[in-house]
Amino acid sequence: MGRILAIDYGQKRVGLAVTDPLKIIANSLDTVPAHEVLAYVVNYVAREDVEKIVVGLPKQMNGTDSQSMQYIEPFVKKLKAALPTIELIYVDERFTSVLAHQTMLDGGLKKKDRQNKGLVDRISATIILQTYLESIR
């Protein structure tokens, strides 16, 4: 059984999360610079059995795409070209950063740790993946 990989794409950093092989639990994977993420994902897929990739879809409150789509769409096109056999799915990512910060607060992280943007990106990717898993159950 293949894993599901989630991507929270940002202009500078990209948060990644992945499921266990049984697709039960979403786990934080890594944060990588945006210019390195395509190579990272291709390398990861070569090592691990990944059946789907979930990409966070940034939406405005009124449901329209946010300006971030101008960066995400070219990346997704390159990803589809590099991995044509893997299904790519967009998942609404509204409020994931807010939820990530709340998760860190609830977890008792110190202020310095909560300011770690890479950690926020990884947690956001995990929330995106968990949202997807709950939607297919």
Question: What is the domain range of residue 59?
Answer: 3-136
Question: Would you put residue 85 in left (φ > 0), alpha (ψ -120 to 50) or beta?
Answer: alpha
Residues 58-113 have pLDDT tens digits of 876 676 666 778 899 999 999 999 999 999 999 887 666 656 556 656 666 566 66
Confidence grade of residue 50 (pLDDT, cut at 50, 70, 90): very high
SS3 39: helix
pLDDT value, residue 124 = 86
> What CATH number does the domain containing 45 carry?
3.30.420.140
Percentage of the chain lying above the pLDDT 90 cut:
56
Residue 51: Cβ within 10 Å count: 15
Domain count, the chain: 1
Between 96 and 137, residue with greater pLDDT: 137
DSSP 74-93: HHHHHHHHH-TTSEEEEEE-
pLDDT value, residue 63 = 65
pTM: 0.85
The one-letter code for the residue type at 35 is H
What is the rounded distance in angstroms from the CA atom of residue 47 to the CA atom of residue 116?
Answer: 28
